[in-house]
A and B are shown apart, each in its own frame.
Chain A
Amino acid sequence: MSRPLEDILFGDPGPEAQTTTRAVSMTAAAVLLLLAMGVVMRFHGAGQFEARLWKFFAWPTTWAFLASGLLGTLASAAMAAVIALALGLVLLLGRLSPLRLARYPSIAVIEFLRGVPTLLLIYVCFLVLPSAGIKLSTYWMLTLPIALSTAAVVAEVYRAGVLAVPRGQTDAARSLGLTEAQVFFLIVFPQALRYIVPALVAQLVIVVKDTTFGYVVTYGELMQNAKVLIANYHALVPVYLVVAVLYCLVNYAISKASRRLGRPMH
């Protein structure tokens, strides 16, 4: 019963159906191949295969520069993620608090940070705060806004996990005489975390994507370094293609890891 639906839909075809499937597959492959050739021809026609546009990829300095950009991306993303995980917990505790004085402001902060584009927050740190006398480094101009908007999302993810923990766990812990803080930090939260690991990792992918905006504040992450390379070699298409592949690889690896972590643990 656990066969994928498409196997049931088209499963066990007779010889005639097999022939049809094979013919259509071949046609599809041919069409896709033609499309790919069209793209290659377009590259060729536009002179994008000229050696001067690609030869600098053979130099170690190019890759060292891209690697330093990737390192900048990861430095910003890692810091933003750590802050978001911690601040998200604070917001969650406020959100779950029985005190209205803690709950309502927490809800307001979460809805505000969640509802505003990260890019807009970056512009505030970049354009508005300096006129108020607050000057951040480019690293923080990028990292702080990402951390703040991610914290709000993480708080909601935490909450979904906490709500998924069976009530009996809380009741049993209370009946053992644990304090409210112990019930939360020893019993409820660790279990909640197990439910939400995939969602948290998915959020990490979004953090990495958001660091692309580093070029807005000229912080040296991958995208910004790509721009510098382009300014030097005038090779827009090759550099952007390589950078796109790098981003896809990093993020694909992260979401692959999340699928593994997300598998049931028992």
Chain B
Amino acid sequence: MTQTIVGIGTRKGLWFARSEDRRTWQVDGPHFLMSEVLSLLFDTRRETARIVVGFRSSHWGPSLQHSDDLGATWVEHPEGSIRFPEDTDTALKATWQLVADPHDPQVVWAGTEPQGLWRSADGGETFELNRGLWDHPHRPEWGEGFGGGAIHTVLPSPADADSMLVAMSTGGVYNTRDGGRSWTPGNTGIHAYFQPHDEWPEFGQCVHKVARDSATPTRLYAQNHKGVYRSDDDGVTWTSIEAGLPTNFGMTAVTHPSRGDTLWLVPIASDGERIPPAATLQLQRTDDAGATWHTQNAGLPKPSYTNVLRDAAGVDTADEPGLYVGTRNGEVYATTDGGESFTRIVEQLPDVLCVRAVTLP
């Protein structure tokens, strides 16, 4: 019997929803009560699945812990998993992203606030700062979005072990093609309407989330602070695909894990009205890489004035993948038919910051 686990990171702790049929769910938690859980990784590359969690307490600071028994017990590295080197004179604020490397089963990548990219060679127990990006001459000019200056998207290429994309708001997209030694901004075509002197800058765009196409690794999608884009050259140049969407604003973007050209967005009315368009919580799905979109809201509440944050949506690894969407009013909605119908699996949690899911044999 397979088991699906949905990890729900919230402003005040982590919960797990577990199910054997994806219809009835048992919820346990909170883990890390009173900590913001911003990042979560289910690492199934190991003999025993590992969960890695990045969280921060407003009092006691950030931490990263892992569990090799599906959340029953947690291990914290005594020296701290992610520590800025002394010469940087910098302190870690939070870990925003944890990603499994597609080429090396021991390697885990982390994106942090302040804007750092980190590589772990021991499955997420200890990390080393990527100096190529940290020493980039643009770094002093990277701004901070509302959430702070963080690398919130880390996308290693499944096709090329030396290639990776990272993104931050407000710094934009950066790419490496030499294993992280050098980094180049990849923002051509992304509009930065808020820049008073140059609305098409080399960097400084407020990208909210980037997702990689599952069939064509050099195809990427970006949900920006006003703007939805596609890149067909591995994140170098971008073209708008927002025609047909109710709005061009939103936080999250999730690609179908096995079907190419398929992407979900959760639109928000605008940056000045951070509620669903027409007060209708909805997903927008494309099956043709952004040429056309259709609305999916069956089973979602209406009217609704909630919101879905950048990492608060995720897919499991079942053959017919489930999609899970967490809201700022502490609910999680699930679909196993590609978004045609949703059911609420959790309610009355604190606001949801990240959702990740896994299906285990």
Whether A and B are associated in the same complex: the answer reads no
What residues make up the interface of B, taking CB atoms closer than 8 Å to A? none
